[in-house]
Amino acid sequence: MRLLLIHADYLEYEVKRETGVAEKIDDERRSGRMDDVLAVFIAVEKEDEGNLDRAADDAVSEIREVAEKVNADRIVLYPYAHLSSSLASPDSAIYTLKRMEDILKSDFDLMRAPFGWYKAFTLRCKGHPLSELSRTIRPEEILTEALEAE
């Protein structure tokens, strides 16, 4: 999984058009805005499909760590396929994003942008030393199990 984390003054989005893999959304999710936010752009990758729960849990740990460092209590999860050329299936990605949402919403004011839609967005990065970070989450457990099986 690939994460691009940006501590921002705000992020706002508006859906423009659905793709062939778009999740169904209600009208209230067609646009959104959150101020003083940690925006997390996410690409779920094929490698993650061996253990989606583990990938989601590891990503949540990274997000929590960054949120604590930048003192953020609001998070936007934003599906962003452009971070990887090796994407998981749409069903796997949606499952993973929803799991991350379910875990994080108990501790953060959270918004998840819809998966599979072309969206316009505006973001204003805060510009401090930790305001732009990237993380690569690798399913270490899966790799270890595969090596042990050989």
Domain residue ranges of the chain, discontinuous segments joined by + = 2-149
CA distance 62 to 103: 13
Contact between residue 37 and residue 73 where contact means Cβ atoms under 8 Å apart: no
CA dihedral of residues 35, 4, 94, 110 (deg, nearest 10): -20
CA distance 57 to 63: 10
Per-residue confidence in pLDDT tens, the chain, 150 aa: 999 999 999 999 999 999 999 999 999 999 999 999 999 999 999 999 999 999 999 999 999 999 999 999 999 999 999 999 999 999 999 999 999 999 999 999 999 999 999 999 999 999 999 999 999 998 765 444 445 555
CATH number for the segment(s) 2-149: 3.50.80.10
Q: Are strands 132-136 and 117-125 parallel, antiparallel or unpaired?
A: unpaired
Closest CA to 34 of 79, 74, 80: 74
